[in-house]
Structure 1
Amino acid sequence: MADVASLDRLKAALDERYRIERTLGAGGMATVYLARDVKHDRDVALKVLRPELAAVLGADRFLAEIRITAALDHPHILTLIDSGETDRFLWYVLPYVRGESLRDRLNREGQLPLEDALTIARHIAGALEYAHRQGVIHRDIKPENILLFEGEAMLTDFGIALAVGVAAGTRLTESGLSLGIIAKLLADRPTSLRTLRDTVPEVVEAAVAKALAKAPADRFMKASHFVDALGRERNAVAPALLAAPRLRSRRWFLAAAVGLIALTAVWWQLTPSGRPSATPQHMSIAVMPLTNLSGDPSNDYFGAGLAEEMTGALAKAGLQVIGRTSARALASRGLDAREVARQLRVASVLEGSVRRDGDRVRVSVTLSSGVDGSITWNEQYERRLQDIFAIQAEIARTVATQLRATLADESRVSLVRQETTDPEAHSLYLQGLYLWNRRNAPSVHRAVGLFEEAVKRDPGYARAYAGIALAKAVLPFYEDVDTDEVVEEAREAARRALAIDSTLTEAWAVQGLMNACLWKNTESERDFNRAIALDSTAATARFWYGLHLTHLGRFAEAHRQLARAGELEPVSPVIRIGPILLLINQRRYREAEAMVRQLLDDDPTFGLAAFHLGAVLADAGRFDEAVSTLSTMLELPSVRASEVQSTLAYALTRGGRTVEAQRVIGVLRASKGGRLPPSAVLAAALMALGEREVALDVLQAAVEQHDPMIVIHGRSARLDGLRTDPRGRALLAITEAQ
């Protein structure tokens, strides 16, 4: 497609649907372009088959085969968006992933960290297993077709591999791997991976050896068995490794394919050179809330909201934006640009002011170096209030240009969309967002009201619906509400947002959290991965996903998500809770206590941290200290009251203070009209009191009515007493099913 005339013809043919911006790469089968989806205003990867290949395949065969893959819906498969034949061009469209291929990373780093290699193998195995169940085989598994983005591996090009494979079936095996490649791999593999890399655990070496065994009957039946054998815990050989079932040809080729990927990732001949950031350090930036110059403190929300929206625009421009809420916390301390840059570890800081006057707005911004505080650029904008989105876009584009050599096809890249034409609806949304970020029940309720006013003014305002979803999603964690009712309201708001704009990260994240609360764990993981694929800088999505993975016992993956969330929001108190919860569920109490006490030193008013200090102390067996901590916070608006009381009752019971525990449970019962609330921790307290049947009935109610706190502490020591009972164990297993 290097022919200029052909490219111009292609652009003209597709211009009403996809505007081609630049070439991303070219391979033996297709040329890949960065294009703009006109209808949905988003970046996509447009792949156009080479003319000679298109002539061999024919449009009917290609389109019939590639459409089979459109139904594939898996977090580690890059979904087919569109395909077609236009002016003799055969093309298809995939999401644009701002990452790199496994081949690129191997070429850059040489040898991957072992855990990364195993994660890639697990992700691709899941994708292949899912596709095989749908009757679809990839046919071209190789590092070039595996994309890596923010810790996730995604398999791409199902469609083209299938279509070409059908047209040239005699050259490809049914599995999609050339028999010659497999034969060479089997013949040439080393006697021992550990002779090449002594840090490879024996269980991993044994799993790879089995996957690549010369005799088909000695290999794994399917890819999932291979992943099981790799083992999530490295100190034990997985049961699948000990079995040697009879295998069917398609399945052992699947396992061999994943084995090839794992072996490629683990067994690379060069010495590791570290893991450089995907974004250069000079392109990192923090956006401070714009100072309110109106003289009315009630307008502070406007500058904070504009800063948050510009943060999203800068991330879309390819910059590494840190600290959406952390920047706000630091701004309240009056720190200068250099100190903000030091604490957030960014190269530049964008700060400024805003003044609203009727239907006019004046925005002043300054871009400063984080190294010496020198001013790199500044500008002032005075426009109509309804032009605020255009101002944000102009600022984001200029900052991006200042911090990087080029911004590809600047005239066509849409950094900020005008999501509403009603300035008052936008103002209501920003007020709601400002209150939601306070993360306590009264503020969240007020936020819901403001978001609802915004959608009344503009029923097409997708982000305001997403705001309703965000607010409803966190309410069950902050106060005693009917979880099922509120969860459904949150899901409905998220669905309405996505029906208008399917690219809203926060709406997908809400769906992920709500599905986690409903024990729909597969759907939850899918939604979280979609959210992160849309915006890798979404710290809240990663935070919630990390909590979900913690509940499922997938601690290594949880750590990666929570650590990345912490990198994106290093000062946010809420985000800092995530690693503490992970440590509590891992029974690492000393580390958890140290972290939560540091958080309280930094923000003594953060009630959620005080509650989790009490939880740490209770799980660690320091019951009197836990009681002292929890007794002081029974009326805090940032913590679900029944959860505090239940945890207090648990600590009192385990500490031998059963009369006091019964008194607390009596108060709790009275506050609920004579009924015990559906709380797993309350069930644990009752079990410790010896009231087994009552405890299990309460636990059953907690599971059936979706106690959201199970997502938070489902693996903690507080629930151990319930897990020792067969009925309790079975009930908790419902919440963890994958």
Structure 2
Amino acid sequence: MSEKGNIIFEFNDFRLDQRERYFARGSERIQITDKAFEVLRVLLEHSRSLVTKDELLAEVWADSFVEENTLDKNISTLRHVFEARDPGVAYIETVRGRGYRFLPDVVIAVRDTKPAFAQNGDLPSVELSAAEVREPAPAAEQRSSTVRKTSTRWVWLSVIGILIVGLAAFAILRSRTSGGIPSGKRLAVLPLVNSTGDQNTEFLSDGITDGVTDDLSRLSGLEVVSRNSAFRFRSDQSDVRKIANTLAVDTLVTGDVKRLGDKYVIDIRLIDGKNDSQLWANQYVRSSTDIMTAQSEIAKDIANNLRLGLRPFEIQAATSRSTQNNDAYQLYLLGRYHASKATEDSLKQAIALYRRALDADPNYALAYAGIARCSSIMAFSGWTMKSSEAMEQTREAATRALDLDSNLAAAHASLGWVDYVYLRDWKAAEQEYRKAIGLGPNDAEIHASFAHMRSVEGRSDEAVSEAERSVDLDPVSLMTNTLYAQALFFAGRTDQAIKQTQKVFEIEPNFWIARNLLGRIDVSQGRYAEALTEFENARAHSGIGSIVPITEIGYTHAKMGDRAGAEQAIADLRASGRYVPFYSYAAIYNGLGDREKALDNLERSVAEHEADAVFIKVNGRWNDYADDPRFKTVLQQLGL
């Protein structure tokens, strides 16, 4: 279809415009990748009919070999999009072992794109239902692997007169856009180098990088690698081809920030990742009060030069600012800079800076979303704040952010986190996560967080799928790779989980969360001595997070029959000077076989709404308690 005329599919207020590469519901432009767009197009062409997996793979990935799980990920993405906007309505049916069927009725409009030289208004159009466009479907095994051939023949016969004129105009338009910069569909924005000589301005270079990354992530048809992976190359960007290969991207954005008197000079370059050639470059000279507008201009210029086929208003919408107050914006950038360090002190600094940004602009939704994100991190064990207090702060900030801007994906994800960890409302949590993924499909942290929830529920296949997607978007992030390993572990895929932790150690040998996870895997297989080595390594490198490995050390000593070692761990927890969740004591008493104390502390953990308690359904350490009435009550209280 792609070269013959403009096909527009309409269903349930959704609209997919094939030639313009436009997918929307009402006035909302929906961002999906090119491959997800093509998968949806094929399903729409055959609405209410089975399309086999082989047919979809042959149609969408005709020139490359991919595994079925690549198709499954795109189907999952589309389901997230529909669920976020139409909760509870089934759009895509899985025909087990065969393929997929698109369920709603689809109306197809066949139009020619108006030629540049047309004088008399819009050209005619023909609108047909999907059933009218198709011939009766033959048996699946007799279909051509290229499914579009039979299904669209009558469309082209019905509009052949229009296409004679339209194809001529199309040829003219193509001649104007051929050549030049290739349209890289997967891109990474590397951290801008701070060349000012002043470390205190690093938050500006990082802030511009983050802002441009966020803006480009909102563009349809472009997949942008997460900040975490891009920032792994802060110190060395010399080997562009290696970086592009590591991040699996077509194109890289690089640049630097210099100081010239009272101005900042921002150099931006667009680099072809395959051959290290410069595709485009520009320089922006701005005062500190104009950094906000510079960020928007940079993102717009990159989008235009990537030739994604987007309309000007779409680029404008993606790069619009949620504040016009420069002081608020700079305070937000500084807050984000501190938040990225993810230590307790830096998170507290970030929250304080976000609050100052709100003093400057009380309606700055992103600042509230920033507070919510920082607070949700502080809900874990090892911080000075109680989990319940951190969760309440998360809920308040995320709710306020969405009151101001209902399209903030990160705020929806924060609410989803609160719903299942704190409020134990799993249905509401799923709705928030699906909204978040629909609004921010390129956000690796959202996919990782949703994977975490699915693991806790025991929905292992979905957890692994979401975790894989997070790693696709953030391939060298320590946390996303570790959470992927955790999802594999809870799914019972232990060997794969171990291999995944080794990938983390290739990036950072002493990443304590991965070391702690590997220790837990060792414990599950009875390798207690090896586990203690991993936990001690984790403790040595965890800083304030040492509550977690100390708990694991206590549990492991208990399982080894070393009561003195377990009691020493309990003493270490009490002497830590930090908030120790009741769950830590419950875990160690569980290992010691002290059932009453284990359940006493577990019940208090649930009553306090501690984040750690939600794992008990999938944590094999509690399997022996499955028939205990008190344990069953705890599971009911958790909604599991």
Q: TM-score, normalised by structure 2?
A: 0.74
- Distance of 1:107 and 1:26 partners within structure 2: 7
- The match for 1:662 is 567
The CA RMSD measured in Å over matched residues stands at 3.9
- The match for 1:427 is 330
Distance 1:627 1:732, change over 3 A: farther
- Distance of 1:492 and 1:329 partners within structure 2: 33
- The match for 2:316 is 413
- The match for 2:469 is 564
Asked whether the equivalents of residues 183 and 307 of structure 2 are also in contact (C-alpha less than 8 Å), the reply is no
Distance 1:95 1:712, change over 3 A: farther
Task: Render the CA deviation track for 1:633-683: whole Å, top value 9, x for unaligned.
Answer: 44655664333222111111111212211222233245579x97411x532
- The match for 1:716 is 619
Question: In the alignment, is residue 456 of structure 1 matched against residue 439 of structure 2?
Answer: no
Task: Render the CA deviation track for 1:413-436: whole Å, top value 9, x for unaligned.
Answer: 323223233333222222222222
SS of corresponding position for 1:371? coil
Task: Render the CA deviation track for 1:279-311: whole Å, top value 9, x for unaligned.
Answer: x98322110111112102232222122112111
Distance 1:685 1:385, change over 3 A: same
- Distance of 2:247 and 2:14 partners within structure 1: 40
List aligned pairs for 1:67-146, cutoff 5 A: 96=30, 98=32, 100=37, 104-106=41-43, 111-113=51-53
From 409, 414, 420, give the equivalent of 1:510: 414
- Distance of 1:363 and 1:286 partners within structure 2: 18
SS of corresponding position for 1:414? helix
Task: Render the CA deviation track for 1:576-599: whole Å, top value 9, x for unaligned.
Answer: 111111122123333222221331
- Distance of 1:654 and 1:356 partners within structure 2: 60
List aligned pairs for 1:443-592, cutoff 5 A: 443-477=346-380, 479-480=382-383, 481-518=385-422, 519-592=424-497
- Distance of 1:721 and 1:434 partners within structure 2: 46
Task: Render the CA deviation track for 1:139-173: whole Å, top value 9, x for unaligned.
Answer: xxxxxxx99744536279989xx9xxxxxxxxxxx
SS of corresponding position for 1:477? coil
- Distance of 1:660 and 1:28 partners within structure 2: 64
Q: CA deviation at 1:28?
A: 9.7
- Distance of 2:405 and 2:389 partners within structure 1: 24
Asked whether the equivalents of residues 292 and 326 of structure 2 are also in contact (C-alpha less than 8 Å), the reply is no
Asked whether the equivalents of residues 512 and 537 of structure 2 are also in contact (C-alpha less than 8 Å), the reply is no
List aligned pairs for 1:292-371, cutoff 5 A: 292-318=194-220, 319-355=222-258, 360-371=263-274
Question: In the alignment, is residue 617 of structure 1 matched against residue 617 of structure 2?
Answer: no
Distance 1:637 1:412, change over 3 A: closer
From 298, 302, 305, give the equivalent of 1:402: 305
- The match for 1:694 is 597
SS of corresponding position for 1:282? coil
Q: CA deviation at 1:547?
A: 0.2
- Give the number of aligned pairs: 532
Q: CA deviation at 1:689?
A: 1.6
Q: Which runs of 5+ in 2 are unaligned?
A: 1-5, 18-22, 58-73, 102-136, 148-181
List aligned pairs for 1:1-400, cutoff 5 A: 25=8, 45-46=25-26, 96=30, 98=32, 100=37, 104-106=41-43, 111-113=51-53, 149-152=77-80, 154=82, 199=97, 270=143, 282-318=184-220, 319-355=222-258, 360-400=263-303
Q: Which runs of 5+ in 1 are unaligned?
A: 1-22, 35-42, 47-92, 118-145, 163-174, 176-192, 209-263, 275-279
- Distance of 1:605 and 1:322 partners within structure 2: 24
- Distance of 2:445 and 2:407 partners within structure 1: 16
Q: CA deviation at 1:490?
A: 1.0
- Distance of 1:714 and 1:647 partners within structure 2: 18
Asked whether the equivalents of residues 425 and 639 of structure 2 are also in contact (C-alpha less than 8 Å), the reply is no
Asked whether the equivalents of residues 490 and 618 of structure 2 are also in contact (C-alpha less than 8 Å), the reply is yes
Give the counterpart letter for 1:152 in structure 2.
H
Q: Which of 1 and 2 has higher RCO (CA within 8 Å, sep 6+)?
A: 2
Asked whether the equivalents of residues 289 and 351 of structure 1 are also in contact (C-alpha less than 8 Å), the reply is yes
- Distance of 2:24 and 2:546 partners within structure 1: 46
SS of corresponding position for 2:320? coil
- The match for 2:122 is none
- Distance of 2:84 and 2:357 partners within structure 1: 39
Q: CA deviation at 1:438?
A: 2.3
SS of corresponding position for 2:227? coil
Distance 1:703 1:576, change over 3 A: same
Distance 1:309 1:156, change over 3 A: closer
Asked whether the equivalents of residues 148 and 154 of structure 1 are also in contact (C-alpha less than 8 Å), the reply is no
Asked whether the equivalents of residues 611 and 639 of structure 1 are also in contact (C-alpha less than 8 Å), the reply is no
Asked whether the equivalents of residues 226 and 443 of structure 2 are also in contact (C-alpha less than 8 Å), the reply is no
- Distance of 2:77 and 2:242 partners within structure 1: 30
Q: TM-score, normalised by structure 1?
A: 0.65
Distance 1:604 1:448, change over 3 A: farther
Asked whether the equivalents of residues 464 and 484 of structure 2 are also in contact (C-alpha less than 8 Å), the reply is yes
